Structure formats: structure tokens, C-alpha cells
Amino acid sequence: MIDFSLDPDFEAKLDWIRTFVREEVEPLDVLFEYNNNSPYDVTNKGAMKVLKLLQAKVRAEGLWAPHLDPALGGQGFGQAKLCFINEILGRSVWAPRVFGSQAPDSGNSEILARFGTAEQKALYLQPILDGDIISCYSMTEPDGGSDPTNFATRAVRDGDEWVINGEKWFSSNAKYAAFLILPVITDPEAAPHERMTMFIVPGDAPGVKFQRNVGLWGERARNATHGFMHYDNVRLSASAVLGEVGKGFQVAQSRLGGGRIHHAMRTVGLCQKALEMASERAVSRRTRGGMIAELGVVQDQIGGWWAKLQQFRLLVLHTAWLYDQGESRRRDAYIQTAAVKVMTAEVSEEIIWGAAHLHGSLGASNEMRFGQMIGAAFRMAIVDGPTELHRATLGRQVLKRTAPAPGRFPSDHVPPLLEKALAKYGDHFEDRSEIPALGLFD
């Protein structure tokens, strides 16, 4: 049974979220520069005061941390319903933080819940769930990128301790993080996917050094939060290992699949906002004696963007639904996630860039937020691995599922297919001229 309807109770929750985000959360995007990571700046007392007030309203509605299972304080919505929530939250930079579902804390909380010890959950997971601290996923390296088989950061045993040395690059929100989840190589001689171990590193641990914070396009230096990290003889006890030694790749994969889907869900909302901005501009702006909405090229653009966004939205929803089906469909979900990752970058770039262009000089100014939105779209092409990598991964998976032709010619080669068709139905035709296909090979 295929059914796109939602139950009335959930529809009511979505209506509340739409109104709440539009009227109470989006004003924070205007108060603070769009990409200065203010939602994560725990040192801004005024912002944190407002944040706590809004988070209390979300909690009162039973919508806090909607990505989590009920045992962890969430609602157990599942990935498909989460799509509808996240596409609303994606319209605002502040909304994910207000709802307790911001990256990278959402992914970090999931792997802590899945792989953490009781002590780790008490020290790190619960404060995240309470909204009291920020965490960081310190994975990418300046030379190896996000490919774990190329990581250079090492952890070696020294008695009962681990000693970590190396560099990490673009560690989001490391500046404010109470702790960092750090994937490093512990056995360089092991098989590629068994070399890595995941560690929990307190942000104030000796040897955790900031080489600098890297700014995004248009971001002022003081607001930069993507840490270029140096781990200089950082000593950790065995209790800092998250999961099992040598199983860091599996821990990472359990996090990244859901994370890519969540990025896509929020991107749907961001693109929808850009499309609405473009449509409003089209019916408001006059040029050469008429509305630009009357121009065929503009109608073609708006219609094309709408159609592509709906295609993308359905792809994300179906992929989320596959995750909700459990292990039986998990392989299909992983493969389809690669397609989602590819389309997240391509759809957002086309729609947001086009919407900005439609605004003319105003779209290029800082009186609109297209610059930051285009920056977000660009980052979608590189976060969690470049789009090209995922496109190639998707291609390999499709080809793995494809059997070679059984003989010299393709399986859809017409002459042998015609022979089979004649064997099946030929006796029904007294006049062979009634079979048009026979004339192809006379």
C-alpha cells in the first residue's frame, strides 16, 4: 500500500513547528549574521538566554531532539517523519539548535547512544541531550581529506594509555566543543577498514591545540569555528575509546549514513525557501513594462526548479523510509543515500544560485542572504566526502547488481527476442504479414 498521508496529530505538530519557526526562530537569523555559527557560541549570554527560552517551548510541545529514540528523550518519529520536520527546520540556521537536532551533535549523540559505555553516556551524551554543551566530530585531515584509509593521525599504546599525534582539519565547532570525537589510526598494518579507532577527547585535554580557526566565505575571522587542530601527544585512558579498538570505521559509517540524510532533509527546506523568494520576486518586480513573472524564461526556470525540488524531496523521503524498514532494507538505504548526497549538492546549487540571480543586484548584496545560502549549497558538495566520490560509489553499486549479457549480443538484442516471441505467440497468426517486426530482418 502506498500512502503519502500523515496522521492528524502529526500534521498538527508540523503546523505548530511551521508557525514557531517562522515567528519565533527565524528572527534570530536576522539578529545574527547568517553564517557566524552564533547558535553554537555558548559564550554569548544573551543568545543563550533566548535559546533556552525557545528550547523550553519545544520541550513543552514534546518535540525536543526529534531524531532520537524515546529512550534517549526523543519521540521516535523515525526517519520518514523526521523528513517533514527537518525540511521546516532547514529554513533557519537557528532552528536545529532550538530543537536539539543540530549537526554534529545529532550524529555524535546517536553513536554515543549506540556504542558508548554507561560512563561515557553520563559524561557526554546526557549533557548533549540536555542542550548544555556542544561537541565536535574531528575527522577530516589536511592531506587525507575524509578518506579514513588515508588518515595520518595515529594513536599508540603506552602502558594503560593511548597517545595521539596528528592534525585534523575543518573540525566544525571545535572552538566551542566540550569534547571531540576523534577517528585515528591505531593499527596501520591491518586491513583498510580495521585500522581505525574512535576516541572521545575532552576539549581541554593537554595537547589539544588550535592551529587556527578556518573561516567560511564571507565569515569574519572572529566568528570562524572550523578548527585546524593539532593533537600533540594527547594522552587518554582506555576509557576514552568509543566502541571497540579497530572498529572505528563501522562506528563512523553508522553515523554518516543518517547524517547525510539529515543534511538532505534540511536542504529541502533551504531550497524551498529560496524557491519562495524567487517566486515572490518574480511576481513583484517589473521590467520592460511587465512583471518578470510574465517572461517565458522565468516561468521555465521556476517550473523547472519546482519539479526538481519535488523529485529530490521524494528521493529523500523514500530513502528515509528505507532506513525505517530496518536491517532488511539497510543495504538499499545505504546505496540510495549516495544518490541523495549527489542530488543534495546539485539541486541546492541550481535553485539557490538561480534564485539569487533572479534578484539581480539585490541578490548580490548583503541585504539578502543568498551569499551565505550559496556557501551552504557549495559545502553540501564536499561535506561527508565529495559529490564525485558518491556518484562513483553509486555507479559501482549499480554495476555490481548488473549481470553481464549471456552471449555475444546484449540481452535486449531483437533477433533472439523475436524468435522467442514467435515461439510463444506465432501460431496465433495465419498471415505472417500481420507481424510487423518480421519485416525488419527480411
Mean pLDDT split into 10-residue runs, the chain, 442 residues: 81 97 94 70 88 95 88 80 93 93 88 93 91 92 83 94 96 93 95 93 96 82 86 96 93 72 89 95 90 94 96 93 84 86 91 95 90 82 78 89 92 92 90 82 70
Residue with cell 525557545: 54
Q: Where in the chain is the domain with CATH 1.20.140.10?
A: 249-400
Q: What CATH number does the domain located at 134-242 have?
A: 2.40.110.10
Class of domain 249-400 (CATH, top level): mainly alpha
The residue type at 181: I
- DSSP code at position 369: S
Q: What CATH number does the domain located at 8-101 have?
A: 1.10.540.10
Q: Where are the beta strands (DSSP E) in 92-147?
A: 134-137
Q: Where in the chain is the domain with CATH 2.40.110.10?
A: 134-242
- DSSP code at position 435: -
Answer for the pair 351, 271: CB distance below 8 angstroms, yes or no.
yes
For residues 124 and 351, give the distance between their C-alpha atoms in angstroms, rounded to a whole number: 39
For residues 116 and 122, give the distance between their C-alpha atoms in angstroms, rounded to a whole number: 10
- DSSP code at position 217: T
For residues 24 and 69, give the distance between their C-alpha atoms in angstroms, rounded to a whole number: 26
Q: Say what the pLDDT of residue 9 is.
A: 94
Q: Where in the chain is the domain with CATH 1.10.540.10?
A: 8-101
Q: Say what the pLDDT of residue 221 is.
A: 72
Q: Say what the pLDDT of residue 75 is.
A: 78
Q: Say what the pLDDT of residue 379 is.
A: 80
Cell of 102: 543540530
Dihedral sign, CA of 47, 213, 103, 251? negative
Q: Which helix (H) or strand (E) holds 54?
A: helix 45-60
For residues 263 and 82, give the distance between their C-alpha atoms in angstroms, rounded to a whole number: 12
Dihedral sign, CA of 195, 138, 316, 297? negative
Q: Say what the pLDDT of residue 11 is.
A: 95
For residues 203 and 8, give the distance between their C-alpha atoms in angstroms, rounded to a whole number: 44
For residues 240 and 183, give the distance between their C-alpha atoms in angstroms, rounded to a whole number: 12
